[in-house]
Structures are given as structure tokens and as C-alpha cells.
Amino acid sequence: MEKIKIYINGREIITEKGKTILEVAKENGVEIPHLCNHPDLIPNGACRLCIVEVKGEKRPVASCCYPAYDGMEIFTETEKIKELRKMTLQLIISDHPLDCMTCEKAGECLLEKYAYEYGIKKIEYEGEKSKRKQKDGSPFIIRDYEKCILCGRCVKVCEEIVGANAIDFGFRGFQTDIISGFDQPLKETECVFCGNCVEVCPVGALREINAEGKGRSWEYKKIKTICPYCGVGCGINVYVKNNEIVKIKGDDESLVNKGFLCIKGKFGFEYVNSPDRLKKPLKRKNNDFEEINWEEAISIICQNIERTIKKYGNNSIAGLASAKCTNEENYIFQKFFRTILKTNNIDHCARLCHSSTIAGLSMTIGAGAMSNSLEEIENYSDCIILTGTNVSETQPVTSYRIRKAVEKGAKLIIIDPMEISLSDIAYLKIQQNYGTDVFLFNSIAKIIIDEKLYNEDFIRERVENFEEYLKFMEKFPIEDTEKITGVEIEKLREVAYIYSKSKASVILWAMGITQHITGTENVISLSNLALLTGQIGKKGAGLCPLRGQNNVQGACDMGALPNFYPGYFPVEDEDTIKYFKEKWQADDLPNRNGLTVVEIFENILKDEIKFLYIMGENPLVSDPDIKHVEEALKKINFLVVQDIFLTETAKYADIILPASCSFEKEGTFTNTERRVQKISKCVEAPGQAEDDWKIINKLAENFGYIWNYKDVWDILREINEVLPQYKGITPERVKKGEKIQWPCPSENHPGTETLHTTGFKTKSEKGKLIPVEFKHAYELPDNDYPFILTTGRIREHYHSRTMTGRVKGINEIVGDDFCFINEEDAKRLKLKDGDYVKVYSRRAKLKIKVKISDRIKKGVIFIPFHFYANLLTHNKLDPYSKIPEFKICACNIEKL
């Protein structure tokens, strides 16, 4: 970046060319008032409050739009400027209600602040007032446009960041107003209820319904923590009064989300105060539950564990940890199972989302985590391949960052059978046939090889198995590409060229790639592309699996997996057992891989597993073929469920333990970018609900193991000792607000933003090219079941809806199960939007509402997995990772 020297109010400042005056002023602590400008939105100089004088310019300039140049002399506070700003404020206020004493935004409103600072005490300009009025039709947002100052921030955030384009300026002149399409209620528009318009509105025109009448801004306690929902790990500020969360705002200081949120993070907190929260331990009594005290609950559980182990052995016990719980809780959970119950039968729902990523990347590059940060993707990647992820639904804030990257010049290539929300800004869109990913990525690799687009130096220095891979590729039938994948070869050639020739290319994927019986092979085929072209190990280039739940990365890191001890030490390795025996002072540790999620339920039905402990998971909604899961839950000898609600699964439990949620405790979550972030206690847990780690600690004590953890930070200290990747991520650093990306090998280490910059994490430190053969999905359409059923997430709901299903506003938007069906199929079946159909597979049937969508291919039905789609899916597994094939099964549909 070229450096320039400028002067602000006589002060010399060295800065970079390309920045605006306002940006340089802000960075150097010089305050220039502004209403329409926002650091993440394209400036348009609408409010004229940020005017400054520049030597040599005849008229004042808008500092938000005016670039600084070398030698520039700027004056921000001259008498002339102050007078002009005062006049601007007078004009704005002349058309603004003066009800600051009762306005909910008082104390936070920028107009109020500047009016005070510029000494505006009365209205100077009388005359006609605009007729903007309050608009309704939103379950979350008050749109009080009488207070609107037409700054345009809301319109810009909706278009530039969110991409929803739900609102715009409407009408003209004095009638100008902010309207949604055809001035309809927001609910009827493209609005995704992210609340970012509320976040950026500088005045009281847009406000949160939830917070209305709850108190004044200065009465709230404001606590920084992390969103409890998806793997992005957005920073949030929680506003609390009288032990109640009143509202949530995005944390502007968070490197992850820069203050922006999605519907769940912004509005999805009502569940915390839900009357349904579990408040006391419960014991099954006939077909109901009775309240018991903690001592009795712990004692019953321990007696049953002892009895089961004595009669059936240690491996008759299994446990499901939770990607919703903290690192410390997952760590202590697996430690309890391994050191006290002596079994590796511990798993969690990472098995159902990215286990194939971990398996595939472990084979090729030795580490399954995202190799780059979101910041890198926005600012360094010039080619972004998105495949098998409708990221606007699954990680909305990541989609904002991708949108920004495209605005900054990156080429976005979307490879997905479904047309996804970001398709409108894609440079290239490729809609392959379902289940043909390996063939498609092999075809791209073949083009890279045949047309010599590969990176010879990189392969020579950092890659092994190239010769064998070439031999495999020589015989690869690229001529069948179009027949199998449905994609023209010329399109793939374009992808091959853009991907290999860009300065930094990154591939992002999620469950569209992983949830197949070939999930591991799909991931390997992506890894092959990165290794062939050297598009990994540098800023903005790499392989980035987008993780689903808030702490799924952390739960994996902590060893809540049947085949890895914490820190990805393989279970079946003598050195691992030696290492952990020493770290945990344990005489004996289980050294055989345990059972995975789906295998646990299979083995209950086979009478092998007799006791199951579930911490914060709801397999009766989230697992495949849930009738099968239900049979297992009915059959199990003893089931313990530790959760915040009486979930579908908990209804089958013998003992239910009430747990606290993430707003009620401390600890750390690790986000999709490997960033370890502190969560803070905002409110007290209801009744006798306890932190999950305390419950496990009580169980350990009952077995006579005194671990001496005073608080959760003692567990993190032990994690620092045990996990090399977390060594330097100490309680002191996280409490100071550092958000470090692992690996962090020492207390002075800043953390690692980009992985694989030198060696890979394999034994040879080289990446391995692995040939992968194409195989079809397990269950393809036939005459009886002619449709493909595919499942996935939607942005409004989270996992099995235990939390989002208790948010009234979210239920108002998506309260019921539905399926998407293509227009042509709908026409053939004489279906219209809102009709009810029966969708059935070989496992079960579902009565469901139809939504017609041109985003879905002909012959395909999409059902969100949050409701009961898993009645229909099958439980055949990828042999390497044991992930089920949620993404493809055969089904049929009938009009009801």
C-alpha cells in the first residue's frame, strides 16, 4: 500500500492511499459527526453532516466520500463547518418528532447526541412535515418511520451485506419513505429478519419489538458473549435487566461478524426464559416423571452405571456429548467416559455433519479444520468455490463476508445441485446431478492435469503420490462427464482455469459434500484439487469446511469422538495411550475405537449397549431413520438425558437432568475458523439447573474421583496442558478478550490464522493425492420411489428446534414443516403452493405442506431436517467416517 502524508487540523498523519478522510480521521481519534455513513457500507454522502474544509477546495466536502491524498490539509471544526452542520441538524430535526424523553432509543440515538453537541434547543424551521408512518407486519421489528431521517443505512445494509433487497426508498420528494416491495408487510417480502437494519439505524426509526417498554438504555447491563447457534461464532452484546435478556446486538468489535447478525443470533433468545425450561432433576415414574433432588439423581445414575458395567462390561455404556456445550464441558465429558467408565463409546453430532471432512482431510493433509479465516476469505481470496453449502441459510454471516469478497472483486463459483441464495452474485453456476461430486471434481482435476494447469513446484516440494494419481487420471473417463454429472465439460474447463490461475483460491463446503456414503471421497476429491494447484497454505487459499453448530469444532478438538483422544490423538495408537495415562494419571485407558452415533443405536438394538448418557443432543430428530432410533430408545435398559428442555429424546429417559444454557455459564466455544472465544454469564439459570461440567464433575466425585476443578477455568488450564493446539490459549488470555485461532503453541503465540503454510500435518509433512473412484448413492430413484429426497438446514431454525422452536416470532415465520418441489413436478402433480402432500420413502411417510420453488431441480424434493424429515432418510453409512447419507434417498409424493 502506498503511504501518504496528510494534515488534520494541523496534525501530521501518515496513512495509506485509497482511504477516505473520514476513515483516516476515525483511525486517528478525530471525531467527525456522521449519520448515514457506516464503516462496512459503501458511502454516499447523503446526510452532509460529515462535511470538512480542505485547503484549496472552494466548498466543504463530504469526508465519507472524499479520498485523502498526499499533502492534503483538512479542517474538521472551523466555525463555518460548525454552522453548516448545525443548519443540517436543524433541517433534519424540523421533520423529526421531539419525543426523546419517551423514545426507546434515547441514550443511543446519534441524532440526539449531535443535537446536544451542537446546542440545538428548538426547531428553527417550521413548515410542512412528512407523512411517514409506522408500518407493521414484522414479528421482530418496529418500523417507526415518523422518526426516519432517510439516511439510507437500512437500505444499504439490506442490499450490500445481507443481499435480501427487501427494502428501498419509495415515492419521491417530500413523500420519500422506506418501503418494502409494493409496500407490503415485511413478512410478505424477501426480508430474512436478520435485524441488521435495526442494528445500523442511527435513530429510533427501527427498533426491536422485544425490548419495547422494558427500560432505558442506561438501565441495561451489557455483556459481551458469543451467539449460541451456528459455527460462525458471532460476537454479541446481550442487554440484560432484572435477570432477563431484553435485546441482543451484534458486537462491532468482533472480527468474525463486525456487528452483523442473522435472525437466530439477533432475535432467537426467547427460549432462555421459556416456562418449559427444565428446573429440577426428574425420574421416570410409570409413564410420567417425578421431581427428585440432585443427590438422588446422581446416586441412581451411578448405581445403574456400576450395575451395567458389572453385568455387561465397560463397552455396554455409551455417551453422546454435545456441540452446543462448551469446550470445557466436552473435555470433562469424554474424560469421565475414558478414565472412569473406561470406554471410547463417545460421539456427538459432528458424526452427522463433518466426520467425513475429518476423515478425508486427515488422509490427505493431516488436519480436518478450516485452513483460513473469514477475514482472509473476504480480503484475500480472489476465487471462491462454494460447494454443497447453501451458506446464506446455514452460516448467514459467512454469506455476508462472501458477498463483500465479491464486491471487492473475487470470482464466486457455485457448484451445487440446488440454486442457492448467493447464486445471484455468482460468476459461474454449476448445477450437477445429485451424488455425482466425485466424478465432477475428478473431471476438473483431469482438465488441470491434461492442460498442465497444476503447480509443479508445489507438487515437487509438498505433495506425494503424484505419479500414482496421474496413472489413475490417465484412465479417467472424462468423456462421460456430461452424461453422469449433467454439466458441460466447457464449464468445468472454465472452473479449472479460474481456480488454478487465481492468486488465492479457496473451496468452502458443508453437508452437501459430506453427508453421502461417499462423503470422505467427496472431500478427498476437493483436497486433490488444492494439492494439484498449490491453492492451500497461503492467505486466502485453502480448504474450508463450514461447521454447523456453535461448538462442533471445539467438541471434536476436545476428543468427543470414539476414535480420537483430545487433540486428535488416534485412539488405536500406543503413544496416545501412554501420553494420556501420564497426563490424566490413569492406570488404564481404553485403546480400541469406540462406536459412532449411528452404531450406538444399532448396538442398542443388538443388545450390546445397555446404558446411554446423552448430554444436550436430540437424536430422535437429528439422526437418520428416526423410527429406528425410537425403537432403540424404547429398548435401552437405562437412558440419562441432560438438557435444557424435555426434548423428544428426553421423553424416553429414566433420569432427566436440568442443564444451564450458554447465556447462564462461562467457558469457551471454538468457531468454524478454529477461533476460541469466551462465553459469559448473562443471567442466572432457572431453578436447580446446573452447568453441564458441574453435573459431570458430580458424577465423577460419586465414583470417588476428585478432580479439584474450582471453576471452568481450571478445566481450560488442564486443556492447555493436554492439547498441544490449545497450549497458549489460557484462561487469562480468553478472559482479556483475545480470540485466538489454534494452533497456539505458547502463551506468547498470537495463534494461527492460516494453516499449512509450511508442512502439512501428515507424518511426512507432505500432502497426499489420493485417487478416488466414483460410486453412485446408496438409494437411487426407481419406479416406486421416483424422486430424490434431500434434506438440509434453513436459516430460521437450529438443529432439532429445541431452542428456535420456542421463539414465537420465528414460529410465525416458519412454524411448520414443508417441502420444496420444482415447478414442473408441481404442475404435473397438479399441486399449488400450500397444498398438503404425502411424502413417503421405504422407511415412513410424512404429511407435509408444499412450497413450489424454481431453485430445486426437477425430480427432487427438499425437506428441512429440523422437523421430521429424518423419518424418511436411511442410515447407510460412509465406510470411512460412518456419516449417514442424509442428502440422498428415494421417495415418492402424492397429493392429499
Summarize as ranges the residues that interact with ligand SF4 (CB under 6 A).
148-154, 157-158, 162, 164, 166-167, 178, 191-197, 200-201, 203, 205-206, 227, 229-230, 232-234, 257, 261-262, 264-265, 395-397
Question: Which of 372, 437, 363, 362 has the alpha carbon at shortest distance from 401?
Answer: 372
CB of 238 to ligand SF4, least distance (A): 13
Report the SS3 class of residue 561. strand
Beta strands 505-509; 463-464: pairing state: unpaired
Nearer of residues 207 and 491 to ligand SF4, judged by Cβ: 207
Question: Which of 858, 884, 856 has the alpha carbon at shortest distance from 869?
Answer: 884
Q: What is the DSSP string of 724-784?
A: GGGTT--HHHHHTT--EESP--STT----SSS-SS--SSTTSSEE---------SS---SS
CB of 164 to ligand SF4, least distance (A): 4
Report the SS3 class of residue 849. strand
Nearer of residues 93 and 837 to ligand SF4, judged by Cβ: 93
CB half-sphere exposure, 383, CA atoms < 13 A = 24
Nearer of residues 344 and 670 to ligand SF4, judged by Cβ: 670
Helices 437-450/489-501 angle, 10° precision: 60
Question: What single letter denotes the amino acid at residue 479?
Answer: E
CB of 209 to ligand SF4, least distance (A): 12
Question: Which of 744, 680, 671 has the alpha carbon at shortest distance from 255?
Answer: 671
Nearer of residues 375 and 608 to ligand SF4, judged by Cβ: 375
CB of 676 to ligand SF4, least distance (A): 15
In contact, 381 and 506? CB cutoff 8 Å = yes
Question: Which of 746, 695, 702 has the alpha carbon at shortest distance from 720?
Answer: 746
CA distance 858 to 189: 25
Cell numbers found for residue 744: 497456539
**Burial (CB count <10 Å: 0-12, 13-18, 19+), residue 587:** exposed
Place of cell 413478512: 187
CB of 79 to ligand SF4, least distance (A): 29
CB of 100 to ligand SF4, least distance (A): 15
CA distance 725 to 367: 12
**Burial (CB count <10 Å: 0-12, 13-18, 19+), residue 737:** exposed
Nearer of residues 151 and 734 to ligand SF4, judged by Cβ: 151
Nearer of residues 179 and 453 to ligand SF4, judged by Cβ: 179
CB of 95 to ligand SF4, least distance (A): 12
Question: What single letter denotes the amino acid at residue 180?
Answer: S
- Kindly state the greatest CA–CA separation across the chain: 92
In contact, 160 and 403? CB cutoff 8 Å = yes
In contact, 109 and 115? CB cutoff 8 Å = no
CB of 328 to ligand SF4, least distance (A): 20
Nearer of residues 313 and 737 to ligand SF4, judged by Cβ: 737
CB of 770 to ligand SF4, least distance (A): 33
CB of 226 to ligand SF4, least distance (A): 8
**Burial (CB count <10 Å: 0-12, 13-18, 19+), residue 137:** middle
Nearer of residues 226 and 577 to ligand SF4, judged by Cβ: 226
CB of 150 to ligand SF4, least distance (A): 5
In contact, 466 and 459? CB cutoff 8 Å = yes
CB of 725 to ligand SF4, least distance (A): 22
Helix then strand count (H, E) for the chain reads: 29, 38
In contact, 37 and 25? CB cutoff 8 Å = no
Nearer of residues 264 and 610 to ligand SF4, judged by Cβ: 264
Nearer of residues 590 and 616 to ligand SF4, judged by Cβ: 616
Nearer of residues 264 and 338 to ligand SF4, judged by Cβ: 264
Distances from the Cα of 641 to the Cαs of 177, 317, 349, 620, in angstroms?
52, 14, 15, 12
Nearer of residues 74 and 201 to ligand SF4, judged by Cβ: 201
Nearer of residues 393 and 654 to ligand SF4, judged by Cβ: 393
CB of 397 to ligand SF4, least distance (A): 4
CB of 804 to ligand SF4, least distance (A): 10
CB of 378 to ligand SF4, least distance (A): 15
**Burial (CB count <10 Å: 0-12, 13-18, 19+), residue 435:** buried
Nearer of residues 197 and 644 to ligand SF4, judged by Cβ: 197
CB of 556 to ligand SF4, least distance (A): 18
Nearer of residues 162 and 695 to ligand SF4, judged by Cβ: 162
Question: Which of 349, 325, 345, 323 has the alpha carbon at shortest distance from 334?
Answer: 345
Question: Which of 525, 531, 432 has the alpha carbon at shortest distance from 485?
Answer: 432
Helices 597-605/626-635 angle, 10° precision: 50
Phi and psi at residue 403, to the nearest 5°:
-55, -40
CB of 261 to ligand SF4, least distance (A): 4
In contact, 885 and 854? CB cutoff 8 Å = no
In contact, 421 and 399? CB cutoff 8 Å = yes
Nearer of residues 525 and 804 to ligand SF4, judged by Cβ: 804
CB of 260 to ligand SF4, least distance (A): 8
Torsion sign across C-alpha atoms 676, 666, 326, 313: positive
Report the SS3 class of residue 571. coil
Nearer of residues 7 and 145 to ligand SF4, judged by Cβ: 145
Report the SS3 class of residue 283. strand
Nearer of residues 308 and 394 to ligand SF4, judged by Cβ: 394
Residue, CB closest to ligand SF4: 265
